[in-house]
Amino acid sequence: MTAMTRRLVLVLTAGLAALASGVTLGLVAFPAKSRAAAPASPYAWFAPLVDVERAIAERYVEEPDLGAMQLGAITGMIEALHDPYTEFIPADLISEFDKQVRGRYVGIGAAVVMENGAVTIVTPLDDSPAFHAGIMAGDVVTAVDGESVEGQPLQAVIDRLAGEPGSRVVVTVRRGERTLDIPIVRRQIVTRTVSGVRRAGEAWDYMLDPERGIGYARLSQFNATTPAELADAVAAMREHGLEGLVLDLRFNPGGLFAAAVQIADMFLDHGLIVRTAGRAHEEQRISATPDTLLPDIPVAILLNRQSASASEVLAGALADNGRAVVVGTRSFGKGVMQNVIALPSGAGQLKITEQHYYGPSGRMIHRTDGSTEWGVDPTAGFYVSMSNAEYTEMLRVQRDNAIIRDADPGDTPAHTDPGWIETDLADPQLAAAVRGMIGKLETGVWAPASTETPALAADLDELRRMRQTRERMLRDLARVDRRLAALSSVAPEDDLPTPEAIVPEGADLTGGSLILRDADGRTVSTLRITGPGVERWLLDAPVEVVAPDAAVGAETPAGAP
C-alpha cells in the first residue's frame, strides 16, 4: 500500500467558540516522519494563536469575549501538561490565593459558617479584632454597616467583612434575645496553623496526658508562620513537662515547602531531609543542621489519605531517619515542588510544578496513575484506618474544642487512660499513637497498634476505593440506561437520526496529525496525535462529518494564501 493510499482524511466542520464561524477541522493520519518541523523562532509558536484571535475578533458572528478567550487559551496550555497542580491565578484572585497559601488577609478575624440560612460565628480567631471587640461563638450576623445580610451568600458576607487595614466596620449580631452593634477595626489577620487538644480560654491546651508528659500539636497547613507557631507550642508544652509529642498532619494539604523543611530540622540533628529534582533545576539535597529544638523525645506522626505535599516532606524526613513513628494510613502522594511566578504582563500568577521530591530513603512521593508505591506509609505495627463516618465525628469534636470560651480550670480533664481519646475525642488513630507512646516511655519500645502490613494495607485501601469509584460510575450509567429506556418507550429511538462515525472503525490514528483550518481553508494549526482515543474527545465537540470530496477540496498547503 502506498503512502498516499495509507493516508486517511476526515474533515469535520467545527463550530467551536474558539475558532471562526464555519471553520473546518482536518483530521489526517500521516506516517510519524511527516511531523511538522519545530518553529524557527519562539515567536513562530504564537503565530497560529494570533491568527485565530484575529479571525475571531474580526469575523465571528457575534461580539466575542476576548478576555474569556485569553483565559481559555492559557487554561488550554496548562491542561495539556496533564498536571492538576499547575494553575493560572488571574490578577483578581491573587488576594484570595495569598490568603490560602500565606495565611494572611485583612478583615475582622472570625470563622463563619452558613447555619440554617444565617451567617453564624463559629469562633473569633486568636488575638483578632473580632475577639477583642467582643464577638462570640454562636453570634448570628444580621447586618454589616447597617445593611442587612439576609438572603446573601456566605462569600458575599465574608467579602463585606473584609476591607482595608485600619478601616472600621459595624457588625450587627443577634445573641440570644439581644441585638448588638459591634464596631470593629479591620487589620491584617495571620491565620494560625498550629492548634492543640482544646481551648483553655483564648490559648490552647496542648497536653493529652499531663501525668506522662504527652503533648499534641495539630498542623492544619504549612505557611510562613507555622515553624514559629510550633516552636511556641513546644515551649508551652515544655512548661508542663513534655516527654513525648504527637504531631497531627491528617487533612493537612501542604503549603510552603520551606516551612516543612524548617520543622523537620527542628527534630533532626543530622541526616537527609529531602531531595528534589526537576528538568530545569540541578538536583538539590537538603540535610539537617546540628542545632535542634527537640532532639531526643519520642515523636509520633498522624497521617491519612488527605495528608499531602509538605506534610509528606515532614513525615518522610522524620520516619526515614528513624526519628518518628507514623500512625494512620498512607498519605496522598503529592510530591511536587512548585513555584509561584508573577507574570510580567500583570495578568496574574502561574503556580507551576518545577520539581519532584524524594524522601531520604529515595522513595518518590508523587503518585501517578501507574504508581504502585507513593506517599509515606505508616510504620509497621501502626496501620490504623478510620471510616468516613468516624472522621466526620472526630472533626465535629475538633471544631467544638476549637471554640474560644471563658477559661475555667475545672474544664480541663487530666486523663491517664488513652481510652478517653476514643470516647471524648472520637479519635482511634490518636488513641493508638498515645498507647504506642506510653509503651515507648515506660518500656523503651513502641507498643504496636496492629499486625497489618502497612504497604499491603494501603494498596488494598486504594484498590477498594478504585472499585467503589468504578461501582458508582456503573450505577450512574445504569441510571442513564433506565432513563433512556423510559424515554424510548414514548419517543422511539428509530425516529432519531443515526450519528455518523467521526473516525472509521479500526482506524489507527496514532502518529498522525490533527489539522485545523479556517473558513477559507488555510491551515492554522497542526497537532500530532500521540495516542488512541481521539474520537472520544471529539464526540462532545460541536463538529460534524462532511463529505470526503469536500475534505479533499478543502485542503490547502500550510503557508498558502
What's the farthest any 2 CA atoms get from each other in the chain?
A: 90
Of 54, 77, 172, which Cα lies nearest the Cα of 119?
172
Per DSSP, 2 falls in state: -
Calculate ∠ Cα 30-36-37, nearest 5°: 145
Query: Mind listing the pLDDT tens digit for each residue in 399-438?
Result: 888 887 765 545 555 566 788 899 899 999 999 999 999 9
Above 50 in pLDDT, residue 555?
no
Residues tagged active-site: 309, 320, 334
Higher pLDDT, 46 or 183: 183
Q: Of the given ranges (1-15, 89-103, 508-522), which has the lowest mean pLDDT?
A: 1-15
Of 359, 334, 157, 184, which Cα lies nearest the Cα of 264?
359
Q: Does the domain made of 104-190 have the CATH classification 1.10.10.410? A: no
Q: Output the CATH code of domain 194-452.
A: 3.90.226.10
pLDDT score, position 15: 32
Could you give the CA distance from residue 267 to residue 289 in angstroms, rounded to a whole number?
10
Name the region of 273 (left: φ>0; alpha: ψ -120 to 50; beta: rest): alpha
Query: Mind listing the pLDDT tens digit for each residue in 430-477?
Result: 999 999 999 999 999 999 987 766 666 666 676 676 677 777 777 778
pLDDT score, position 447: 92
CB 467 within 8 A of CB 389: no
Residue reference for cell 475525642: 425
Number of residues in the chain: 561
- Give the ranges where 105-225 is alpha helix by DSSP (H): 129-133, 154-161
pLDDT score, position 194: 94
Query: Mind listing the pLDDT tens digit for each residue in 157-208?
Result: 998 998 889 999 999 999 888 999 999 999 988 778 999 999 887 789 999 9
Model-level pTM? 0.65
**Beta-sheet pairing, 325-328 with 299-303:** parallel
Above 90 in pLDDT, residue 215?
yes
Q: How far apart are the first and last CA of the chain?
A: 33
